[in-house]
Structure 1
């Protein structure tokens, strides 16, 4: 069995998916089996502000990976594999010892969908109830995949 994996132009996908998102660059793009996988990288800043104390930390601790579903494009599912750096908080009285760099224009903390896909799903849910809403939501999430 032959698997077709197509490398595509990162700058094209950067303009399509991350238009208006200032803190992201597309590093790699692959397309296979009706799914496009994007690997973005945050435009590295030396530090990030802690969500609780608001103080900046430049002490990178680790990184975490997330898989985000985005709106389908041209009949293909879009998946974003995001790696976020984790920082150590140096504030003594801060309740968090570590925190992840935020990507607020792309997604919410702990979310599995991008902000724009979640916005569409929030509009669909109250409009349709029962099987019709479930079918349309499934179509929005799984289009092309």
Structure 2
């Protein structure tokens, strides 16, 4: 079932300005959100110089908090930009999504916070049992 992308944009990415929702499908207990970066350029992390020259792009899959009892998976297209500084050792860099997730993370920031709170509140085996139950109920892993 195809859903209204603007509705999901406001629901899933509330307060996150740098992401556009392209499509949302809900089927078989999973909500799949296809999104991409909104910014036309990004700044090199080493030199801070802005670049709009896209080198390549790749897909990231991020798990998010369940929506209406269904697990949520974000398919995020991340662009790699070329650094225009001649002596930059990095040469290319990925556009950052600091409000949504950390680099290399497989969870959104808000899902990671929930899992951290479960771990800190319950600790040890009780936290592991609750995380297992949450995983079974909404496919968190």
SS at match of 1:71: strand
Q: What is the CA-CA distance between 1:137 and the residue it aligns to?
A: 2.3
Distance 1:142 1:12 in 2: 27
* Match runs of 1:55-94 below 5 Å: 55-94=49-88
8 Å contact kept, 1:71–1:141: no
Moved more, 63-72 or 123-132: 123-132
Partner of 2:7: 12
Aligned length: 139
Distance 1:139 1:25 in 2: 32
* Match runs of 1:22-41 below 5 Å: 22-41=17-36
Q: What is the CA-CA distance between 1:31 and the residue it aligns to?
A: 1.1
Identify if the C-alpha distance between structure 1 residues 141 and 9 changes in structure 2 by more than 3 Å, giving closer, same or farther.
farther
Gaps of 5+ in 1: 1-5
Partner of 1:49: 43
TM-score, normalised on structure 2?
A: 0.90
Distance 1:25 1:124 in 2: 30
Distance 1:81 1:108 in 2: 15
Distance 1:83 1:110 in 2: 14
Distance 1:20 1:142 in 2: 29
Q: What is the CA-CA distance between 1:141 and the residue it aligns to?
A: 4.7
Superposed CA RMSD:
1.5
Given candidates 136, 139, 144, the residue that maps to 2:138 is: 144
Distance 2:77 2:100 in 1: 13
Distance 1:15 1:142 in 2: 27
Given candidates 92, 96, 100, the residue that maps to 1:98 is: 92
Residue 113 (1) aligns with residue 107 (2): yes
Gaps of 5+ in 2: none
